[in-house]
């Protein structure tokens, strides 16, 4: 599907933040986890265009009768257009996509066979339908995007940070397996809560412009100062810089690289799954 870019003039106060993109789903390679926000949606085959602000109000129990989930379900196997804001590039693009459940059918069939073998009385009537887009979303204000990021500064030799592969000055911690972080103290509290335990982090590298999973093992036994052995910067001077040049490849080729993937095995329960 094709995309076109435009400079944002007025972002809505709330939008759908894309946290996870399932492998092989309709949005795989078209949506960039953690950086993309859904701010609009319209049908290409029906007169069904809606303001996403009203859609979000419906999702949390207010106003409109038609919500995001309902619009997507009504357009299953039909072309829709998502208006997506990217917090990293600070641009808005249109993403044409066809909502479908076919991508999950093979996986569900395999799981059904396993469940049948392990439990002959397994009730299949209450199983949720697979996602039409393969997205896990949360509701938030896109204007506050990328405020709570943690810049990796100096990394000490032999430290847990070095062992985890954190890159000094180029890496930014965006979130952990439990979801985004919201304040400066959240990260330090998270480290304290995982002493001598593995901690899965989602880390963006500004030099390579990619997102990856990192397993950090905070400990006091590594022989140096601190639990992870690296400096962390937070605040206005430590925001993620805009990419110096846009990618030459199309979006679906650019984000569909192994180093930009986030494994579904680390997925948690987000607010909405579409």
> Residues 28-82: pLDDT tens digits?
999 999 999 999 888 776 655 555 555 565 555 444 445 788 888 889 999 999 9
Residue 214 structure tokens: 């990192």
- The candidate with the shortest Cα–Cα distance to 33, out of 152, 179, 166, is 179
Domain 1-143+242-274 belongs in CATH node 2.30.42.10: yes
Query: From the annotation, which residues make up the binding site for Zn(2+)?
Result: 17, 140
- Give the model's pLDDT for residue 64: 43
Q: Find out whether 263 and 60 touch, Cβ atoms under 8 Å.
A: no
Q: How far is residue 10's CA from residue 5's CA, in Å, rounded to a whole number?
A: 15
Q: How far is residue 93's CA from residue 30's CA, in Å, rounded to a whole number?
A: 11
Beta strands 91-97 and 80-86, pairing class: antiparallel
The distance in angstroms from the start CA to the end CA of the chain is: 19
Residue 78 structure tokens: 């039909």
Residue 266 pLDDT grade (very low, low, confident, very high; cuts 50, 70, 90): very low
Weakest-pLDDT range from 12-21, 43-52, 118-127: 118-127
Q: Find out whether 27 and 97 touch, Cβ atoms under 8 Å.
A: yes
- The candidate with the shortest Cα–Cα distance to 81, out of 134, 39, 20, is 39
Same fold, 1-143+242-274 and 147-239: yes
Weakest-pLDDT range from 36-45, 91-100, 175-184: 36-45
Residue 109 structure tokens: 């069939």
Q: How far is residue 134's CA from residue 35's CA, in Å, rounded to a whole number?
A: 16
- Looking at the whole model, is its pTM more than 0.85? no
Query: From the annotation, which residues make up the binding site?
Result: 17, 140
Domain parsing of the chain, residue ranges: 1-143+242-274, 147-239
> Residues 105-114: pLDDT tens digits?
766 665 555 5
- What topology does CATH give the domain 147-239? Pdz3 Domain (2.30.42)
- Give the model's pLDDT for residue 260: 41
Q: How far is residue 261's CA from residue 274's CA, in Å, rounded to a whole number?
A: 19
């Amino acid at each position: 599907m094709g995309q076109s870019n435009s400079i944002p003039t007025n972002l809505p106060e709330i939008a759908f933040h894309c946290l996870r993109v399932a492998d092989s789903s309709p949005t795989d390679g078209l949506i960039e986890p953690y950086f993309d926000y859904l701010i609009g949606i319209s049908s290409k085959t029906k007169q069904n265009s809606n303001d996403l602000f009203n859609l979000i109000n419906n999702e949390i129990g207010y106003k409109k009768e038609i919500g995001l989930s309902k619009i997507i379900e009504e357009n299953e196997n039909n072309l829709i257009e998502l208006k997506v804001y990217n917090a990293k590039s600070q641009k808005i693009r249109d993403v044409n996509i066809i909502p479908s459940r076919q991508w999950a059918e093979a996986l569900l069939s395999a799981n059904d066979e396993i469940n049948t073998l392990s439990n002959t009385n397994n009730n299949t009537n209450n199983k949720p339908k697979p996602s039409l887009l393969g997205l896990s979303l949360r509701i938030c204000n896109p204007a506050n995007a990328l405020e709570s990021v943690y810049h990796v500064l100096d990394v000490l030799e032999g430290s847990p940070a070095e062992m985890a592969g954190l890159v000094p000055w180029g890496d930014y911690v965006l979130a952990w397996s439990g979801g985004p972080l919201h304040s400066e103290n959240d990260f330090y509290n998270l480290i304290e809560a995982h002493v001598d335990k593995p901690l899965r982090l989602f880390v963006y590298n500004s030099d390579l412009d990619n997102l990856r999973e990192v397993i950090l093992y905070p400990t006091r036994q590594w022989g140096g100062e601190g639990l992870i052995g690296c400096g962390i910067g937070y605040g206005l001077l430590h925001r993620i810089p805009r990419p110096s040049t846009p990618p030459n490849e199309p979006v679906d080729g650019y984000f569909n690289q192994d180093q930009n993937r986030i494994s579904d095995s680390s997925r948690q329960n987000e607010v909405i799954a579409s």
